[in-house]
Amino acid sequence: MFNRLGKTAAGDDPKMGRLVSYWSVTVLLYLLCLGIVWLETFTGSGQREAAAALTILSCLGHAGFYLLIRKSRRLRLTPAQLSVYQGRFAVLITCLGYPIVGPFRGACLVVLLVTLVFCAFTLEARKTHSLSIFAIVLLGAMMIAMSRLDPAFDARIEFVHFVLIGTMVAVVGILTGRMSDLRARLKKQKDELLVALARIQDLATRDALTRLPNRRFMVDLLQGGERVPHGRPACLALLDIDWFKRINDTYGHAAGDEVLQRFAEEGSKLLRPTDILARWGGEEFLLFLPQTTLAQAQGILERFRRHTEAWTLAHGEARLRVTVSAGLVELHDREDYGSGISRADALLYRAKSEGRNRVAVEEEGAAVTAA
Ligand X SMILES: Nc1nc2c(ncn2[C@@H]2O[C@H](COP(=O)(O)OP(=O)(O)OP(=O)(O)O)[C@@H](O)[C@H]2O)c(=O)[nH]1
> In angstroms, rounded to a whole number, what is the distance separating the alpha carbons of residues 228 and 78?
49
Residue 295 Cβ, how far from ligand X at the closest point, in Å? 27
Q: Which residues pair with 328 in a beta bridge?
A: 237, 361
Residue 69 to residue 21: CA distance in whole angstroms: 11
Query: What b-and-e string marks burial along 69-93, b requiring 16 or more CB atoms within 10 Å of the CB?
Result: bbebeeeeeebebbbbebbbbbbeb
DSSP string computed for 304-351: HHHHHHH--EEETTEEE---EEEEEEEPPTT-BHHHHHHHHHHHHHHH
- Considering the complex, what minimum distance in angstroms separates the CB of residue 223 from ligand X? 24
Q: How many residues does the chain have?
A: 371
Indicate whether 243 belongs to the interface with ligand X (CB under 6 A).
yes
Q: Smallest distance from the beta carbon of 19 to ligand X, in angstroms?
A: 51
Q: Which CB atom, from 262 or from 356, has the smaller least distance to ligand X?
A: 356
Residue type present at position 217: F
Comparing C-alpha atoms, which of 337, 346, 336 is closest to residue 367?
346
Out of 16, 131, 172, 260, name the contact with ligand X by CB under 6 A: 260
Q: In whole angstroms, give the CA distance from residue 22 to residue 3.
A: 9
Write the DSSP string, 219-255. Answer: HHHHHHH-BPPTT--EEEEEEEETTHHHHHHHH-HHH
Is the Cβ of residue 234 or residue 247 nearer to ligand X in the bound state?
247
Interface stretch with ligand X, choices 29-37, 122-130, 160-168, 237-245 (CB under 6 A):
237-245
Stretch that binds ligand X, among 13-21, 57-65, 70-78, 254-262 (CB under 6 A): 254-262
Which range touches ligand X (CB under 6 A), out of 16-24, 163-171, 241-249, 358-366? Answer: 241-249
First to last CA, the chain: 69
Tell which one of 240, 275, 330, 362 touches ligand X (CB under 6 A): 240
Annotated active-site residue 266? The verdict is: no
Which residue has the CB atom at the shortest distance from ligand X? 256
Q: Quote the CA–CA distance of 196 and 182 in Å, as a whole number.
A: 21
Residue 129 Cβ vs ligand X, minimum distance, rounded to whole Å = 57
Is 187 or 245 the residue whose CB approaches ligand X more closely? 245
- Candidate residues 158, 242, 275, 330; the one interacting with ligand X per rule CB under 6 A: 242
Position among 47, 81, 248, 369 found at the interface with ligand X (CB under 6 A): 248
Scanning 107-115, 225-233, 239-247, 304-312 for contacts with ligand X by CB under 6 A, the matching segment is 239-247
Distance in angstroms (rounded) separating the CA atoms of residues 35 and 24: 17
Residues 339-358 close enough to bind ligand X by CB under 6 A: 352, 356
Rule CB under 6 A: say whether 89 interacts with ligand X: no
Query: Who contacts 295 (Cβ-Cβ below 8 Å, separation ≥6)?
Result: none
188 in Cβ contact with 199 (< 8 Å): no
Q: Which of 40, 283, 330, 362 is catalytic?
A: 283
Q: Is 241 in the site for ligand X (CB under 6 A)?
A: yes
Of the pair 47, 248, the CB lying nearest ligand X is at 248
Q: Contact between 71 and ligand X (CB under 6 A)?
A: no
Site string for ligand X, 261-300 (x = CB under 6 A): ---------------------xx-----------------
- Give 31 or 254: the residue with its C-beta nearer to ligand X: 254
Do 304 and 358 meet the contact criterion of CB atoms below 8 Å apart?
A: no
| Stretch of residues binding ligand X (CB under 6 A), selected from 106-114, 163-171, 249-257, 261-269 | 249-257
Task: By CB under 6 A, name the binding residues for ligand X.
Answer: 209, 240-245, 248, 253, 256-257, 260, 282-283, 352, 356
Active site residues: 283
